[in-house]
A = this chain, B = another copy of it.
């Protein structure tokens, strides 16, 4: 999995501070998570071939997470897109986008599918050939979901030297990848394990923004390879975090520790802080492997 932070700042875009959007690649599938104003410019600036995006997941309908969506949808049309585009987001997102397209008399010339969400319990919303997506209900001022992305277990890997040694026919390779035992030309049976290696362990990514501190999130994201958890505030503004239903860096670190995730990325920083290193320090009181999101930064995990 490869994650590119397109924007990671709260509230309003500023010079060198984009609002929230992320690009996640899973086995060649390109997924956009949230889409603040200017996301399409960020995609261009980072030279990302964004026509490949097939799925977009919007956490909630605050502007800093979705005001770039209608522009991106329009740009796809202008670029002659033909492929289907699937948009997942809170109930209301379809009306928000279609009203704007209607007023512009500019309907898309590609199939645009809306999947509106209103469940307040975790829900499997996409069962793709290569991955699944489950909602992570969050606690914010309006209806908000995080998303949990899990790769599916891949094929077993051919052990090239063993296959050559046993003289396995090419026609049997697909069966081997699927974990089946095979029969050689002389009638002997060979166990799959002798001819293959196990598949890569499936990787996972949990995106949680925006949310107040929500202890039960730790159960839902238990053991993920990478957790992105918002940390709008530092401890000194705990009162503001409670009032606005956001989290502090300490709270994000606490969730990561209880959930025993492999790494934590912090983001959605309030503009009041000029030095972000304190976010790391406060999160590390609870959990060691912490990174700061940064516009344009890439994270890769195996």
Report A73-102 CB contacts with B as 1/0, cut-off 8 Å. Answer: 011001100000000001011011001100
Question: When the two chains form their complex, are residues A70 and B63 in contact, meaning their CB atoms are under 8 A apart?
Answer: yes
Copies in the complex: 2
- Is A104 among interface residues, defined by CB-CB distance under 8 A? yes
- Is A122 among interface residues, defined by CB-CB distance under 8 A? no
Give the residues in chain B near A78, CB-CB below 8 Å.
11-12
Given contacts A12-B75, A12-B78, A74-B12, contact A37 B68 (CB under 8 A): yes
Within 8 A of B (CB), among A152-204: none
Question: When the two chains form their complex, are residues A61 and B15 in contact, meaning their CB atoms are under 8 A apart?
Answer: no
Give the residues in chain B near A37, CB-CB below 8 Å.
37-38, 40-41, 68, 71
Within 8 A of B (CB), among A8-35: 11-15
- Is A129 among interface residues, defined by CB-CB distance under 8 A? no
Residue of B with least CB distance to A67? B71
> How long is the Cα–Cα vector from A142 to B102 in the complex, in angstroms?
11
Within 8 A of B (CB), among A24-62: 37-38, 40-41, 44-45, 61-62
Residue of B with least CB distance to A74? B63
Residue of B with least CB distance to A105? B142
Give the residues in chain B near A96, CB-CB below 8 Å.
99-100, 103
Size bracket of the A interface? 35 or more
Question: When the two chains form their complex, are residues B15 and A41 in contact, meaning their CB atoms are under 8 A apart?
Answer: yes
Give the residues in chain B near A68, CB-CB below 8 Å.
37
> How long is the Cα–Cα vector from A89 to B54 in the complex, in angstroms?
34
Nearest-Cβ distance from residue A31 to partner chain B, whole angstroms: 22
> How long is the Cα–Cα vector from A79 to B11 in the complex, in angstroms?
10
> How long is the Cα–Cα vector from A35 to B38 in the complex, in angstroms?
13
Give the residues in chain B near A99, CB-CB below 8 Å.
95-96, 99
Nearest-Cβ distance from residue A112 to partner chain B, whole angstroms: 15
Question: When the two chains form their complex, are residues A63 and B13 in contact, meaning their CB atoms are under 8 A apart?
Answer: no
- Is A141 among interface residues, defined by CB-CB distance under 8 A? yes
Residue of B with least CB distance to A61? B103
- Is A106 among interface residues, defined by CB-CB distance under 8 A? yes
Apart from A12-B78, A13-B71, A105-B142, what are 6 other A-B pairs with CB-CB below 8 Å? A12-B40, A13-B40, A37-B37, A37-B38, A38-B38, A63-B106
| Chain A to chain B contacts (Cβ below 8 Å), 17 pairs | A12-B78, A13-B41, A14-B44, A37-B40, A37-B41, A37-B71, A61-B103, A62-B106, A63-B71, A63-B104, A67-B100, A90-B103, A95-B99, A96-B99, A99-B99, A104-B142, A105-B142
Residues of A within 8 A of B (CB): 11-15, 37-38, 40-41, 44-45, 61-63, 67-68, 70-71, 74-75, 78-79, 90, 92-93, 95-96, 99-100, 103-106, 141-142
Which 9 residue pairs across A and B have the least CB separation, nearest first?
A: A61-B103, A37-B71, A12-B75, A92-B103, A63-B74, A67-B71, A105-B142, A38-B38, A62-B104
